[in-house]
Structure 1
């Protein structure tokens, strides 16, 4: 199962076989059923998840009591409440399996040890976090500069298979509108 992660790491930096053995010794794997929670608001996030198979989502509950999805993670993507994970602060977010999911887990108490023993992993995570930050900025820009219909059309064009994978209410939440509005948009197409 670790080969998916090793392949991904080697797209950004090189880990030799000895380094892969060291990294594997500091990882664990887990499987989750659809709708299972990997993390809940109110707790400190102590794990970062690399999706091998499946789909996870990060969300919070807004002031109206509605779920607001802020991130999805499918195969070869990472997901965590990074603020809580990195700074060991209380989390406002939930991480939930949107479908049956298999992950590789980095536990927070081993995070710095990984960097100490494998300096290439620090470069890897820096590049991953840069990509995550860029994607977040673009998403925020789209939320403020595009109509709901434009957001759906652009997202559907960029990730057509993904749109079919996640429940409609999760996709609507991520795109910033209600499931009913998403139904209306889809009915027009």
Structure 2
């Protein structure tokens, strides 16, 4: 079993041996190839995915047929469609590997059992969900309060590795820009450094 998950959980709460045993029994390792979908809209999301290696995105296709990225995920992050996973109804999101990905997946039924059996594991998942909610809330605030350039600067400051790993058109979609607008910002930044 990969120790990345063990180390990640221990950053937020202290796992007992019995808690770790429960998690090891509940998760399964899976590999997804670049561009492969873990979830497609129209299906129910049955898993949470802990990323051991790789990068992925969640997105939907808007009414104009354009992809709108909701979130990215990299090593030590969890990815799922929370609405579909929690409520077990049809998803409107897609989750796709941007790079080859190795994940540990946890089913809805196993997740429910784990959180009932272990208060520590329940606390861990609540903490992770709170952190995700805070990040999403900040992103919404940035979208309403910052200029495009300020949003890019803030994103780059807090997530420098994404700008190297994520195609620019995807980053533009996530930030709510057109690819052309993002190119202008990047060109301006490059000229300012020269």
- TM-score where L is the length of structure 1: 0.96
Distance between the aligned counterparts of 1:119 and 1:112, measured in 2? 12
Distance between the aligned counterparts of 1:161 and 1:108, measured in 2? 31
Deviation, 1:18, is: 2.9
Deviation, 1:154, is: 1.4
* Equivalent pair of 2:36/2:97 in contact (CA under 8 Å): yes
SS in 2 for 1:156: helix
Distance between the aligned counterparts of 2:135 and 2:27, measured in 1? 26
State the match for 2:176 in structure 1.
176
Deviation, 1:84, is: 0.4
SS in 2 for 1:99: coil
Deviation, 1:160, is: 1.5
Deviation, 1:156, is: 1.2
Distance between the aligned counterparts of 1:35 and 1:42, measured in 2? 18
Deviation, 1:116, is: 2.3
* Equivalent pair of 2:19/2:121 in contact (CA under 8 Å): no
Distance between the aligned counterparts of 2:151 and 2:93, measured in 1? 23
* Equivalent pair of 1:2/1:24 in contact (CA under 8 Å): no
Distance between the aligned counterparts of 1:157 and 1:101, measured in 2? 25
Correspondence 1:74 to 2:62: no
Correspondence 1:97 to 2:97: yes
Correspondence 1:27 to 2:27: yes
Higher mean C-alpha deviation, range 129-138 or range 8-17: 8-17
State the match for 2:133 in structure 1.
133
Distance between the aligned counterparts of 2:97 and 2:18, measured in 1? 33
SS in 1 for 2:60: strand
Deviation, 1:9, is: 0.7
Unaligned runs of 5+ in 1: none
SS in 1 for 2:11: coil
Deviation, 1:43, is: 0.5
Q: 1:116 to 1:2 in 2, by over 3 A?
A: farther
Distance between the aligned counterparts of 2:116 and 2:142, measured in 1? 38
State the match for 1:58 in structure 2.
58
State the match for 2:159 in structure 1.
159
State the match for 1:121 in structure 2.
121
- TM-score where L is the length of structure 2: 0.94
Q: CA RMSD in A?
A: 1.0
Distance between the aligned counterparts of 1:176 and 1:133, measured in 2? 19
